[in-house]
Structure 1
Amino acid sequence: KYLQQQLPEQRKVAVGISLGGNMLVNYLARYRDDPILDAATVVSAPLDLAACAQRIEQGFSKIYRTYLLSSMKRNALRKYSLLENEISITRQGIEQLTTLYGFDDLITAPLHGFRNADDYYQQCSGIHYLKQVAVPLQVIHARDDPFMTEAVIPDFTLPKNINYQLYDHGGHVGFLSGSALKPEFWLESVLPVYYECIRDSVCSHSIPRPNEIYGSE
């Protein structure tokens, strides 16, 4: 809203990364009649929160879970004096958390008005709201993303304003091209290309794939 007030005639786009991408889909669906934005992109978004919460507890993904959960618990403990005024919580309860689901059940869900983690996941998974997005939206996913499952891949027909890009490789917000000695950050090139297509009213489904830009993934 601030940008709209300052630059009312300027075109505006947004890029949502990871959980921010899921939040952006929710926003675009909720405010579809007046989104302020002209176009958007979401990258490696956990569009099915429940499935992703389960996936990150499996195999090698636990390494990411441990890192993320440790950071989230530190932040919660640092803000404990604020949290205890809003929800029923103890320091010991935070320290004993071992899963992201547990964190969401104890803190995220009640802090934002949801009954529990399942209620939060059901209401906020962007996969349910893709069809409600009205602006041009680019969705970028990788099959080898350690946070994701097939559940984040739409199994229904998407409207023409959504450009869905699914790649075999890319990890979680990785999408490196080039070589080990000279890596290329594919996202930094493909996102401007997409918005140039939108600006010039060129078919948004002609976005180059990683290997078409740099010769290798």
Structure 2
Amino acid sequence: MAVIWGLDLKEMRWGKFKGSYMFNRAYHLRTTKMIVYQAAMIFCVISESVGTAMLSDYVDQQDGISTRSQGKAQVQNDDIVGIASFNILVGIAVAVIFGSAFFFDLFWPERQETKTVRLWWKIAAVTVSIMTLADALALTVIVATHSAYIVGVPHEYAQILFENNGKPNAIYRKNAMSVTSSVLLWLGVVATFSSTYIMWKSHQHDDEFGPWSAKYKENENPQS
């Protein structure tokens, strides 16, 4: 089997996805890493998925109302469209960084990495965590305080257009998908910062003592 960047590809086996291996106590912080890395990916990707559906609805709202008014009315909802687009980027970034960390630790927990590689892991983790926090703050503010509105026609006609168009609700906080995406993203924020902290602590331990847990070493070398 090929070896790429010092990683033996034969270690990529389905059997390593078993809970007995994935959550074993042989490696330092292994169980914690497997949990928080997956939590970061799951919460952010689900938030992204819900947000994508929301994004599609608000883009359709622009097209639908413009068509119904024969181009006279223009829906102004670019704030929610923009932050939902950024949320997609954040979801992808979190999945790439912590997804990679998950698979690397799952398949090659004893791998050797240079200081430069370790530094880039840390920089990437901090960067996506800050991106996730910024995304959550912006999305929360927009959902909680903003709403779509129409320009180009009288207010009364604008309200009729919103009503005839149906979903999504012009008031973002009354849209279940907007709220759900925000809540899931905040859970993702907690998970990404937790993942970053655990990654740093794990690297610190590995650099000083190696990847093995203290309990495993005690079992391997019992006191006589």
TM-score band w.r.t. shorter chain: under 0.3
Give 1 or 2: higher strand fraction: 1
**Higher RCO (CA < 8 A, seq sep 6+):** 2
Whichever structure has more helix as a proportion of its residues is 2
- What TM-score does the superposition give when structure 1 sets the normalisation length? 0.25
Give the TM-score taking structure 2 as reference length: 0.25
